A and B are shown apart, each in its own frame.
Chain A
Amino acid sequence: QSVLTQPPSVSAAPGQKVTISCSGSSSNIGNNYVSWYQQLPGTAPKLLIYDNNKRPSGIPDRFSGSKSGTSATLGITGLQTGDEADYYCGTWDSSLSALVFGGGTKLTVL
């Protein structure tokens, strides 16, 4: 059971938009920054979003992040088949004194 809650799967058609939610509590998302990672099949995770809504160099602006209260959201617009991957949210949990992740969301581009 993960500390952060993500939907197991989401799907959308190419060109469409999808959002992935990440729900936590005041000890984690509510008071710390959230990051998002993309894990393509058989590869290592890759940083997509950090500090709730910042994109590292090289990440297209089709990817966006937001946070409100104890929840965070990853948005992806203009979906491409190459976006099919598992997506994870992560943040520091001040009560656990640990970095915690969501269980991951599998994105299918139909």
Chain B
Amino acid sequence: QVQLQESGPGLVKPSETLSLTCTVSGGSISSYYWSWIRQPPGKGLEWIGYIYYSGSTNYNPSLKSRVTISVDTSKNQFSLKLSSVTAADTAVYYCARARLGYYGSGSTYYYYMDVWGKGTTVTVSS
């Protein structure tokens, strides 16, 4: 059974770069899409972006200028970097396996996350 585990600093200073890694165990990172989602304290879910195991990415336009998601298939890991952080970036960050695309020749897009990590809390504060 595939399991995901987020890791990284729990405290980041304002203006610095937040860096998190998600380690995939119990299965291969290959042939799947992988997402990052965050949840500010007491608020809802926000999509950050996804990466395909081959390295292609897609980011939330609202975060695109600050986000980089990368993958290391040799380590079965993918990572998130968010630059120039502020207090508004304080949140629980989740990594998840994503299923997305079009079925057959259809035009209806599907995107859902079927396996989630437990999440890691990142606080932005000096």
On A, residues with C-beta under 8 Å from B are 2, 31-33, 35, 37, 43-47, 50-51, 56, 88, 90-92, 94, 96-104
Inter-chain contacts of A43 with B (CB < 8 A): 118
On B, residues with C-beta under 8 Å from A are 35, 37, 44-47, 58, 60-62, 94, 99-100, 107-114, 116-119
Min CB–CB distance A22 → chain B (angstroms): 12
CA separation between A33 and B111, bound complex, in Å?
7
* A90 contacts B119, C-beta separation under 8 Å: no
Inter-chain contacts of A35 with B (CB < 8 A): 111-113
Min CB–CB distance A2 → chain B (angstroms): 6
**Other-chain residue from A45, A51, A98 in contact with B94 (beta carbon distance below 8 A):** A45
* A88 contacts B45, C-beta separation under 8 Å: yes
Inter-chain contacts of B94 with A (CB < 8 A): 44-45
Beyond the given A32-B111, A33-B112, A45-B116, please list 10 additional residue pairs across the A-B interface where CB-CB is below 8 A: A2-B44, A33-B108, A33-B111, A35-B112, A35-B113, A44-B116, A50-B110, A51-B112, A97-B61, A101-B47
* A102 contacts B110, C-beta separation under 8 Å: no
Min CB–CB distance B89 → chain A (angstroms): 17
* A32 contacts B109, C-beta separation under 8 Å: yes
Q: Can you give 12 A-B contacts (C-beta < 8 A)?
A: A2-B44, A32-B111, A45-B116, A47-B114, A50-B114, A51-B110, A51-B112, A90-B111, A91-B111, A98-B47, A101-B45, A102-B44
